[in-house]
Structure 1
Amino acid sequence: MPEQKPVILWFRRDLRLADNPALQRAVESGQPVLPVYILDDGGEGSWPDGGASKWWLHHSLASLAEDLEGVGSRLLLRRGASRDALLELCRETGADGVFWNRRFEPAIVARDTEIKKSLAEAGVMVRSFNGSLLQSPLSVENKSGSPFKVFTPFWKHIQNLSTRDPLEKPTSLAAPKSWPASESLGSCKLLPKRDWADGFEKEWTPGERGAVEALEGFADGPVNHYAGKRDTPSVRGVSKLSPHLHFGELSPNQVWHRMDREKHEPYLRQIAWREFAHHLMFHFSDTPEKPLRPEFASFPWKKDASLLRAWQKGMTGYPIVDAGMRELWKTGWMHNRVRMIASSFLVKHLLQPWQAGADWFWDTLVDADLANNTMGWQWVAGCGADAAPYFRIFNPITQGERFDGEGAYTRKWVPEIADLPDKYLFKPWEAPGELLEKAGIELGNTYPWPIVEHAKARQAALDAYAAMKS
Structure 2
Amino acid sequence: MAGPTLVWLRDDLRLADNPALTAAVSRGHGVVVVFVLDDESPGIRPIGSASRWWLHHSLAALDASLDGMLVLRRGPAERVIPALVDELGATAVYWNRRYSAAREIDARIKTSLRDAGVEVESFQANLLFEPWTVQTGDGGPYKVFTPFWRACLERGGVREPLGVPDLGAVLGAPGSESLDGWGLLPTTPDWAGGLRDTWTPGERGAHDRLDAFMGGALSRYHRRDEPAVEATSRLSPHLRFGEVSPFQVWDRVHGVSANSAKFLSEVGWREFSWHILFHWPRLATENFRPAFDAFGWGHPGDEVLAAWRHGRTGIPLVDAGMRELWHTGYMHNRVRMVVASFLIKNLLVDWRVGEEWFWDTLVDADEANNPASWQWVAGSGADAAPYFRVFNPELQAKKFDPDAEYIRRWVPEYGTPDYPDPIVDLARSRQEALDAYEAVKAAAASRG
Pairing of 1:152-191 with structure 2 (within 5 A): 152-161=146-155, 162-176=157-171, 179-191=173-185
Measured on the aligned residues, the alpha-carbon RMSD in Å equals 1.4
2:3 to 5, 15, 28: 5
**Counterpart residue type for residue 93 of structure 1:** L
1:469 to 437, 441, 445: 441
Pairing of 1:425-444 with structure 2 (within 5 A): 439=416, 441=417
Query: For each residue in 1:202-233, what CA deviation from the matched residue of structure 2 results, as whole angstroms up to 9, or x when unmatched?
Result: 10000000001101110122112202x10011
**Counterpart residue type for residue 107 of structure 2:** T
Pairing of 1:335-354 with structure 2 (within 5 A): 335-354=332-351
Deviation at residue 349 of structure 1 after TM alignment: 0.2
Q: How many residues were matched structurally? A: 437
Deviation at residue 160 of structure 1 after TM alignment: 2.1
**Counterpart residue type for residue 294 of structure 1:** P
**Counterpart residue type for residue 199 of structure 2:** W
Q: Does 1:450 align with 2:422?
A: yes
CA contact (8 A) 1:27 1:173 kept: no
Deviation at residue 44 of structure 1 after TM alignment: 7.6
Aligned to 1:269: 265
Deviation at residue 88 of structure 1 after TM alignment: 1.1
Q: Does 1:85 align with 2:83?
A: no
Deviation at residue 390 of structure 1 after TM alignment: 5.2
Deviation at residue 93 of structure 1 after TM alignment: 1.1
SS at match of 1:160: helix
Query: For each residue in 1:278-332, what CA deviation from the matched residue of structure 2 results, as whole angstroms up to 9, or x when unmatched?
Result: 0011011222111111100111101333322211111111010000001001000
2:216 to 212, 221, 230: 221
Structure 1 unaligned blocks of 5 or more? 421-438
Aligned to 1:459: 431
Aligned to 1:148: 142
Q: TM-score, normalised by structure 2?
A: 0.95
SS at match of 1:415: coil
SS at match of 1:98: strand
Distance 1:12 1:44 in 2: 16
Aligned to 1:64: 62
Distance 2:426 2:206 in 1: 41
Aligned to 2:284: 288
Query: For each residue in 1:176-203, what CA deviation from the matched residue of structure 2 results, as whole angstroms up to 9, or x when unmatched?
Result: 4x63210011011110122111110110
SS at match of 1:173: helix
Q: Does 1:363 align with 2:364?
A: no
SS at match of 1:311: helix
Q: Does 1:128 align with 2:144?
A: no
Aligned to 1:23: 21
**Counterpart residue type for residue 220 of structure 2:** H
Distance 2:376 2:352 in 1: 12
Aligned to 2:385: 388
Aligned to 1:239: 233
Distance 1:232 1:41 in 2: 37
Deviation at residue 171 of structure 1 after TM alignment: 3.5
SS at match of 1:370: coil
Percentage identity across aligned positions? 51
SS at match of 1:117: helix
CA contact (8 A) 2:254 2:264 kept: no
Distance 2:280 2:387 in 1: 21
CA contact (8 A) 1:33 1:173 kept: no
Query: For each residue in 1:134-178, what CA deviation from the matched residue of structure 2 results, as whole angstroms up to 9, or x when unmatched?
Result: 0111111111211111111111111122111100112423144x6
Distance 2:273 2:163 in 1: 27
1:138 to 132, 143, 153: 132
Distance 2:164 2:438 in 1: 56
SS at match of 1:38: strand
Q: Which moved more, 1:344-353 or 1:253-262?
A: 253-262
Which of structures 1 and 2 has the bigger CA Rg?
1
Distance 1:134 1:323 in 2: 34
Deviation at residue 43 of structure 1 after TM alignment: 6.0
Distance 1:87 1:399 in 2: 53
Deviation at residue 96 of structure 1 after TM alignment: 1.1
Distance 2:262 2:290 in 1: 32
Aligned to 1:102: 97
Q: TM-score, normalised by structure 1?
A: 0.90
Query: For each residue in 1:311-365, what CA deviation from the matched residue of structure 2 results, as whole angstroms up to 9, or x when unmatched?
Result: 1111111010000001001000000000000000000000000000000000000
